[in-house]
């Protein structure tokens, strides 16, 4: 009878994550969810302003091809005290860029715990779950949890209205310019007519 061979314990599945800070608080996100990391200065050079009263956490957007990528202030999203952001996460497969304080480090997690029942409001849509790293519990964010489909609809509609207003303003300016040129031409024609009349009168007086 052969002795039983020892069973091998399957290796724990790990996931590469990025630990980042927002207003001093630590969060984690899958590194596969981050398309690129940019400095705040490079973003400000290409970002345009947007404002909607129902979404104060979004104040800028960036055009990428046919889509608009909306820049979310992470501190406002999480309801944390304001802090000057230094970096931007451009998130993969979303239309979101995230303003953060900075990156803590890259590491891996082997366990993701479900959110406890204490997370019972909108934050359940923000996080995938919790992980423990160095005896610290860290929330793991959802890349698509920063802007809902309804949020995107509202922001897209706001941009569309702004584009319509800008187009109407441009047309009004163009019409005003054309009318101004026409008015200037009419004044010039009247002035030429007056000059011709004076020349006729002068000719009559000299005869």
DSSP track, 93-140: TSSEEEEESEEEEEEEES--BPPPTT--SGGGGTEEEEEEETTEEEEE
CA distance 123 to 146: 10
Choose the weakest-confidence range: 25-29, 157-161, 196-200.
Answer: 196-200
The phi, psi pair for 110, rounded to 5°, reads: -115, -5
Q: Which fold has domain 15-146?
A: OB fold (Dihydrolipoamide Acetyltransferase, E2P) (2.40.50)
Predicted confidence at residue 62, as pLDDT, reads 95
- Residue ranges per structural domain of the chain: 15-146, 148-207
Taking the CA atoms of 124, 145, 73 and 84 in sequence, report the sign of the dihedral they define. Answer: positive
The tokens describing 205, both together, are: 């007086």
Work out the average pLDDT over 105-126: 91
Q: Tens of pLDDT along 34-92?
A: 999 999 998 888 999 999 999 999 999 999 888 899 999 999 999 999 999 999 999 99
The tokens describing 62, both together, are: 């960036």
pLDDT of 133 strictly over 50: yes
Predicted confidence at residue 65, as pLDDT, reads 85
16 Cβ contact list (under 8 Å, min separation 6) = 30, 31, 32, 106, 107, 108
Q: What stretch of H or E contains 90?
A: strand 87-91
Q: Tens of pLDDT along 5-22?
A: 555 555 568 999 999 999
Predicted confidence at residue 66, as pLDDT, reads 86
CA distance 13 to 131: 13
pTM attached to this predicted model: 0.75
């Amino acid at each position: 009878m052969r002795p039983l061979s020892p069973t091998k314990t399957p290796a724990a599945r790990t996931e590469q994550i990025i630990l980042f800070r927002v207003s001093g608080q630590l969060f984690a996100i899958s590194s596969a969810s981050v398309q690129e990391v940019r400095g705040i200065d490079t973003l400000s050079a290409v970002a345009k302003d947007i404002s909607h009263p129902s979404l104060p956490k979004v104040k800028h957007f960036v055009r990428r091809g046919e889509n608009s990528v909306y820049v979310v202030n992470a501190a406002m999203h999480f309801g944390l005290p304001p802090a000057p952001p230094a970096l931007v996460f451009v998130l993969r497969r979303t239309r979101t860029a995230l303003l953060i304080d900075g990156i803590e480090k890259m590491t891996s997690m082997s366990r993701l715990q479900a959110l406890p029942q204490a997370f019972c409001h909108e934050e359940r849509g923000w996080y995938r779950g919790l992980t423990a790293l160095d005896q610290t519990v860290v929330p793991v964010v959802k890349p698509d949890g920063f802007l809902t489909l309804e949020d995107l609809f509202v922001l897209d509609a706001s941009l569309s209205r702004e584009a319509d207003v800008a187009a109407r303003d441009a047309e009004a300016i163009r019409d005003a310019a054309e009318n101004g040129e026409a008015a200037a031409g009419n004044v010039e024609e009247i002035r030429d007519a007056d000059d011709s009349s004076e020349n006729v009168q002068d000719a009559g007086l000299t005869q």
